[in-house]
Amino acid sequence: MDSLKDRTVEELQALQEDAAEIERLALESREVQELQLEREMALAANRSLAEQNLKFQVPLETGRSELSS
């Protein structure tokens, strides 16, 4: 948000009323982009773990069935 440091008080006050511009500035910020990348990486890791867990579902259910027999 370094771009806000260079703005005048009047520009900042006008910016407060422009939701679209605030959103644009936020999406362009390095911090938000890093958070979005972290989120995407976490989602990919979670998906991978979920897929691995699904591979164990059938053997686990089979084992449970055999154990209860």
State the pLDDT at residue 4: 84
pTM listed for this prediction = 0.60
Q: Which segments in the chain show pLDDT lower than 70?
A: 1-2
Number of domains in the chain: 1
What domain range is 60 assigned to? 1-68
What is the predicted pLDDT for the residue at 57? 94
CA angle 11, 16, 22 (to 5 degrees): 95
